[in-house]
Amino acid sequence: MSERYWAVVPAAGAGRRMASSVPKQYLSLLGRPVIEHTLQRLLAHERIESVCVALSDADEWWATTVYAAHPRVMRVPGGDERCHSVLNALQRLQLSARLEDWVLVHDAARPCLHRSDLDRMFEELAADPVGGLLAAPLHDTIKQASDAGRIAATIPREHLWRAFTPQMFRLGDLLDALTRALARGWLVTDDASAMELAGLAPRLLEGRPDNIKITRPEDLKLAEFFLQQQSESG
């Protein structure tokens, strides 16, 4: 039985740190909404069957995107938190996917995902019993702050990584782990955390540093630069 891969993009957030009335996934990036760049990167890979996008019921921008009626894009209702949106998407995928199929969960605000990172995930995680995620080891000195805004401790950076997306797990395993986490009131901020709480140890794959998440206004310019660089380099 051949491996099959699906993608989930939680896109119901408001992106309040962007100080904009428009959610960050719909801000203009090189003349297109951020989410269009993100979906283009996923849909361009022939191994991804389709993408399930979780959107807010109050979303008034999705219908204007080029992917609103795309045959390989499914829309599901988003939730109050990212984890609720992902769970809704996983439950929808059960209608089309097998429980042993792989699911890649990717942030809507990471538009610079490179094909080489997807290829590496498919190659290195296909036989992994758990799955894994793109990430990057920390190189800066890490300080822990006190409530007063002063240094409380210096944290050794060895073995510390920044988690990226996509994060790739079997549909059945992630669905079970996320369901159990939410049943216990754990609002996990990424999918690997749910797998960890289920007693599993996802694998870390070092990803490209240009796979940034747009969080603040200045990130748009940086994403624009990276997209242009990727286009020039092929």
Q: What is the pLDDT of residues 53-82, one digit of tens each?
A: 999 999 999 999 999 999 999 999 999 999
User: CA distances (Å), 12 to each of 90, 105, 109, 152, in order?
Assistant: 15, 14, 11, 36
Compute the average pLDDT of residues 138-142.
92
The domain tally of the chain equals 1
Residue 1 has pLDDT above 80, yes or no: no
pLDDT recorded at residue 40: 98
Compute the average pLDDT of residues 179-198.
97
pLDDT recorded at residue 232: 84
Question: Does a structural domain hold residue 220?
Answer: yes
pLDDT recorded at residue 233: 80
**How much is the pTM?**
0.94
Kindly report the CATH number assigned to the domain that includes residue 77: 3.90.550.10
Question: Does a structural domain hold residue 155?
Answer: no
- The Cβ of residue 96 has, within 10 Å, a number of other Cβ atoms equal to 14
Q: What range defines the domain where residue 50 resides?
A: 5-130+163-233
Compute the average pLDDT of residues 175-189.
97
pLDDT recorded at residue 17: 60
Question: Does a structural domain hold residue 150?
Answer: no
Q: Output the average pLDDT for the chain.
A: 95
Question: Does a structural domain hold residue 176?
Answer: yes
pLDDT recorded at residue 3: 87
